[in-house]
A = this chain, B = another copy of it.
Amino acid sequence: MRTHAQHELTKNQALVYGSLSDAGGPLTAYAILDLLRENGFRAPLQVYRALDKLVEFGMVHRLESLNAFVACSHKGCAGHGSAAFAICEKCGDVREFTPDDVVRLLKDWTESQGFALARTTIELRGTCKSCVASG
């Protein structure tokens, strides 16, 4: 299996991935576009096309419930299973984790139904520990 680092990124892909890594949290496509205007980006498609590839490579995840994107937290990993996300609605923090047992159960269910599973989206909304503590 290919590691993230082994993907040779094009210029635009590298710029988009850099934005997301530096941000340390989720960004919308249009937020990325604004960050990259100084690098010559002019149109949303430049961002979306790069994001499509990065998601395909597994280097970036799409957060469906936020319409946003986040760099995979496994910086140099050799690939991993389906990711899940705990999203704090107070501070916006997003924590990625890999609930293998959960994914296993979901796979069991799909297999029992004859459903050919391609992709799993798991997103938890709530309040993170520090926000619970502070308020």
Mark A residues whose CB is within 8 Å of B: 64-65, 84, 86, 88-89, 95, 97, 99, 101-102, 105-106, 109-110, 113-129, 132-133
Contacts and interface: CB of A to CB of B under 8 A. Distances in A.
A128 to B, nearest CB: 6
Contact of A124 (B114, B119, B127, B128): B119
Nearest to A127: B116
Given A64-B65, A120-B125, A121-B122, 16 more contacts: A64-B123, A84-B106, A97-B109, A101-B105, A110-B124, A113-B129, A114-B129, A115-B127, A115-B128, A116-B126, A116-B127, A117-B124, A117-B126, A119-B124, A120-B123, A121-B124
A115 B129 contact: yes
Contacts of A88: 115
A86 B110 contact: yes
Nearest to A88: B115
Contact of A127 (B118, B122, B125, B128): B118
B121 A121 contact: yes
Contacts of A118: 89, 125-127
A132 B115 CA distance: 8
Contacts of A124: 106, 110, 115, 117, 119-121
